[in-house]
Amino acid sequence: MAIRPILIAGDPRLATPALPVTEFDDELAAFVEDLFETNTAADGAGLAANQIGDARSVFVYDLVDAGVRHRGHVVNPVLETSELPETMPDPDDDLEGCLSVPGEWFPTGRAGWAKVTGVDISGAPVEVEATTGLLARCLQHETDHLAGRLYLSRLIGRNQRAARKMIKQRGWTEPGGSWLPGTEDPR
């Protein structure tokens, strides 16, 4: 297993929709283990394949929500949610971060309920449902990645303006930026 470099905002692979997985083999299983290992080393809640430069539609999650640990993976996920809020997100309760936008947090509106269906590494059906909290946010965040969307694109108002300014200040307008969890401080 290996810890992989995580791409940083500005890399076009983060804006490219993932491709469905069609090969369910030992290589896919090893790749999912790499995703878990990289996510753990980065102290993340979840990690999508395109964040490490792989075009396959798969993500992992490993987080504690309301005192309960949730850990798993979904291949070829399909997301369902309740309505997205149309109001300004709460600056304290709706903060969201991303391993591809290291060291930054912005209030992001997300649906209160989310369900992802897909398959596991052997092709068996998987369903993950969350009614509130971090798991619901994570499911939406990771499926956004696989659709080629960073959470920054969901920001509104002053948060959107602050994110654009941050991207320019950090120089994250050029492709090719990455960081290696466990060896670098990405901030």
Is 70 annotated among the ligand-binding residues? Answer: no
Is 141 annotated among the ligand-binding residues? Answer: yes
Contacts of 46 (CB under 8 A, 6+ apart): 39, 59, 60, 61, 62, 63, 138, 141, 142
For the chain, the straight-line distance linking the first and the last C-alpha, in angstroms and rounded, comes to: 25
- Pairing type for strands 6-7 and 178-179 reads antiparallel
Q: Which residue has the tokens 């979840």?
A: 46
Quote the tokens at residue 118: 């897909």
Question: What are the C-alpha distances in Å from 84 to residues 52, 79, 106, 140?
Answer: 28, 13, 17, 11
Question: What are the C-alpha distances in Å from 96 to residues 18, 55, 138, 151, 153?
Answer: 22, 24, 9, 8, 12
Whether residue 142 lies in the annotated active site: yes
Contacts of 141 (CB under 8 A, 6+ apart): 45, 46, 96, 98, 110, 151
Is 138 annotated among the ligand-binding residues? Answer: no
Q: Which of 33, 104, 142, 174 is catalytic?
A: 142
**Catalytic residue numbers, as ranges:** 142
Q: Which residues are annotated as a binding site?
A: 98, 141, 145
Q: Which residues are annotated as a binding site for Fe cation?
A: 98, 141, 145
